[in-house]
A = this chain, B = another copy of it.
Amino acid sequence: MPSPIKIDPAELRDYVRDLFQSRGVSADDAGTIAEVLVWANLRGVDSHGIARVPRYLELFGTGEANAEPKIVVHNEKGALAVVDADRAAGPVALTRAADIAIAQAAQFGVGWVNVRRTVHTGALGYYTNRIAESGLIGMGLVAGMPNMGYEGAAGASVATSPLSIAVPGTGQYPTVVLDMATAVIALGKIAQFKKAGKDLPAGAATTADGVPTTDPALAKIPLPVGGAKGSGMSLMFELLTSVLVGEPILPNFHSGVSGGKKHRQNAAIIAIDPSAAVAVNTFTSDVDATIETIRSLPVAEGYERVILPGQRGAETFADRSRNGIPVPEPLWNELKTAAETYSITSPTVGAR
């Protein structure tokens, strides 16, 4: 296997920004999208990183994503706001939402910001981590198009809607960031099993018709984590996001009305100010003490260490910030082709 192409994160960020700017996205918004996608690569979440650039370009091309959105913020009661994204790309709308949530939390103790009518939110952990970096607790929920099972139902019924929570400590340890889908297994993981010629674990996925399978070639629909628990969470996130902003996804998707299956997502981004509940020093040192307790738990057989949510991502972040971001050659060539059309120079490739 050839050693993968590695790209400097800052150069990659500029490159991706230029690509979006060439499609009519403002410099600011293009920079935000690049920042969120490259952050996912830095954290090792390659499925939500620059691998999405071709799809984003396509969404801008068809107009499903709006390159020049007129984002409107409604805020009738202090601590709850609605960001009408006007089909802005998720990174643009959700970064805005996170910053509004931070400001509201500073004033009211809590900021709850719903985002309506966005497309592909990117890695949800980016926004909760952004809130944690400002010293607040961040939470995020997203609902999207049905691609997961629902306990007792056959076929794609609800979305693999993610939940993310990030909590700041003193800075001695990486920020604790939970960022999880409500499915047992990601679609990307199913593809990895297929490539490796391995069977899926039982109970992880079904065929498109809803028949349980361990054959990764037939597996099209991930099952919800914990059965009714995972599908219940996914449904609740749809109610707390899409339905709360008057944009329910499930009824139109399943009734088969025109446009009901068009890609769209809704989200909620929440910030909580710990200083409204407890002295900040007490809070951050208690967070650290809890992290230390988890790290010191006796290790179970078959494991090397006990880790915190987000710890592996932080380790990958440190490594890739130093050594560059690995990019698969087919993706790299695809990006170069997209760039050449607009005479954008591609960054230097090579070991660093």
Interface residues of A (CB under 8 A from B): 74, 76-80, 82, 107-110, 112, 114, 137, 149-155, 157, 163, 165, 167, 176, 178, 180, 184, 210-211, 225-226, 228-230, 232-233, 235-236, 238-240, 243-246, 248, 250-251, 254-255, 272-274, 276-279, 282-283, 286-287, 289-290, 292-294, 296-301, 303, 305-309
Contact = CB atoms under 8 A, between A and B. Distances in A.
A108 B78 contact: yes
17 contacts: A76-B109, A77-B108, A78-B109, A109-B112, A153-B298, A153-B303, A153-B306, A154-B299, A163-B233, A165-B236, A178-B236, A180-B228, A180-B229, A210-B298, A239-B287, A243-B287, A246-B278
A37 to B, nearest CB: 24
A101 to B, nearest CB: 11
A74 B54 CA distance: 51
A251 to B, nearest CB: 4
Nearest to A77: B109
Say how many copies of this protein the assembly contains.
2
A273 B77 contact: yes
B240 A137 contact: yes
B244 A154 contact: no
A173 to B, nearest CB: 13
A290 B309 CA distance: 32
A contact face: mostly helix, strand, loop, or mixed: mixed
B167 A254 contact: no
A80 B272 contact: yes
Nearest to A178: B232
Contact of A298 (B154, B273, B289, B306): B154
Contacts of A297: 150, 153-155, 157, 254
A175 to B, nearest CB: 11
Given A153-B306, A274-B244, A298-B154, A290 B77 contact: no
Contacts of A112: 109-110, 272
B176 A77 contact: no
A77 B79 CA distance: 11
A193 to B, nearest CB: 17
Contacts of A240: 137, 165, 167, 272
A300 B230 CA distance: 16
Residue with the highest number of chain B CB atoms closer than 10 Å, among A246, A276, A296: A276
A117 to B, nearest CB: 13
Contacts of A74: 277
A251 B285 CA distance: 11
A279 B229 contact: no
B77 A107 contact: yes
A230 to B, nearest CB: 7
A296 to B, nearest CB: 7
Contacts of A151: 306
Given A80-B109, A152-B305, 18 more contacts: A78-B78, A78-B79, A78-B107, A110-B112, A153-B297, A155-B297, A155-B298, A167-B236, A178-B235, A225-B226, A243-B287, A244-B272, A244-B278, A245-B277, A246-B282, A246-B283, A250-B294, A251-B290
